[in-house]
């Protein structure tokens, strides 16, 4: 589920469909995305929420390998991509609250469509300010995993809809000298924080260096037991490191999220077997 953009570019699929059709379009999509997946039927209530909120809502059915002795388990996962909604010159609280309101509407739509687990994008509560290399005001978006306003906001939605939410934020570690981390918070269907996972690999590419704000995780590759399965979170740049995926799988992850905030050629992802 992605926020509609006011820019002229309306997404890869729209651009492809404008130039290609039939078998040729199907083959290009197969090369880009892998085998085709059957579209899910979206409930009318969810479609209306998406229309009213001016964002796209699509769903696909992905089959896992069938087993002989265990019945299949159905899990619906929603991935939300957002955009900022107030000028970056507004106050930190105004910007964050506007994003909360927007993403809250998207979570309502995802829940109406039957989602069990919802994953948000990297540092979803703020603009992607790491490219500026300026600490203020951007580090003021950092908040506590357990008592911060974002966790409080999402915990209510998790309980309301019986869902698990993966919430990547800029963390201020109140337990250790207010150190800043790039962290994903896992919130259970009961609204309780199950745990946190931090970014394992920090990009240092030319002038783009996130270590201005935070360093690599010291938590390893945690996997979280939830009502709907075992979850791992491989944040952003970690996707370029095959062993990162492997270790999450070895630790028992059934679903691995890759929340990202990236632009241009930095987002190029060479597929790896893991």
Q: For 131-207, where are the E strands, in sequence order?
A: 164-173, 179-187, 193-198, 204-205
User: Among residues 122, 143, 171, 210, which one is catalytic?
Assistant: 122
Q: What is the pLDDT of residues 147-182, one digit of tens each?
A: 999 999 999 999 999 999 999 999 999 888 899 999
Q: What is the pLDDT of residues 71-127, one digit of tens each?
A: 888 999 999 998 888 999 999 999 999 999 999 999 999 999 999 999 999 999 999
In this structure, the strands spanning 164-173 and 179-187 are: antiparallel
User: Among residues 108, 143, 210, 236, which one is catalytic?
Assistant: 236
Q: What is the pLDDT of residues 3-34, one digit of tens each?
A: 554 556 677 888 888 989 899 998 998 898 88
46 CB-side CA count, 13 A: 20
Tally of residues, the chain: 274
CA–CA–CA angle 150, 1, 197 (5° rounding): 45
pLDDT at 9: 67
User: Among residues 108, 143, 199, 210, which one is catalytic?
Assistant: 199
pLDDT at 193: 98
Mean pLDDT of the chain: 89
pLDDT at 12: 82
**What's the token pair of residue 67?**
């087993």
How far is the C-alpha of 99 from the C-alpha of 173, rounded, in Å? 22
Domains and CATH numbers, the chain: 37-60+74-267 (3.60.110.10)
Which pLDDT band holds residue 65 (cuts at 50, 70, 90)?
Answer: confident
Handedness of CA 200, 203, 208, 212 (dihedral sign): positive
pLDDT at 205: 76
Catalytic residue list contains 236: yes
Q: Are 238 and 219 in contact (CB under 8 A)?
A: no
Rg (CA), the chain: 19
Catalytic residue list contains 131: no
Query: Could you give phi then psi for residue 198, rounded to 5 degrees?
Result: -110, 160
């Amino acid at each position: 589920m992605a926020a509609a953009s006011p820019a002229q570019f309306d997404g890869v699929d729209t651009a492809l469909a404008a130039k290609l059709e039939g078998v040729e379009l199907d083959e290009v999509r197969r090369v880009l995305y892998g085998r085709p997946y059957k579209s899910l039927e979206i409930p009318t209530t969810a479609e209306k929420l998406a229309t009213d909120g001016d964002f796209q809502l699509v769903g696909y059915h992905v089959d896992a390998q069938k087993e002989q002795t265990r019945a299949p388990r159905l899990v619906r996962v929603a991935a939300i991509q957002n955009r900022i909604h107030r000028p970056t010159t507004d106050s930190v609280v105004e910007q964050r609250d506007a994003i909360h309101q927007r993403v809250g509407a998207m979570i309502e739509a995802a829940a109406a469509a039957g989602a069990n687990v919802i994953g948000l994008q990297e540092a979803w509560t703020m603009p992607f300010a790491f490219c500026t290399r300026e600490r203020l005001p951007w580090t003021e978006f950092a908040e506590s995993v357990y008592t911060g306003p974002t966790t409080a906001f999402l915990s209510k939605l998790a309980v309301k809809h019986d869902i698990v939410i993966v919430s990547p934020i800029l963390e201020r570690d109140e337990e250790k000298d207010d150190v800043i981390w790039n962290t994903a918070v896992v919130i259970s269907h009961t609204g309780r924080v199950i745990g946190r996972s931090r970014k394992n690999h920090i990009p240092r590419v030319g002038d783009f260096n996130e270590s201005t704000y935070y360093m690599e995780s010291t938590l390893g590759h945690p996997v979280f037991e939830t009502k709907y399965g075992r979850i791992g979170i491989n944040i952003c740049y970690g996707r370029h490191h095959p062993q990162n995926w492997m270790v999450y799988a070895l630790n028992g992850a059934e679903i691995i999220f890759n929340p990202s905030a990236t632009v241009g050629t930095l987002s190029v992802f060479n597929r790896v077997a893991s």
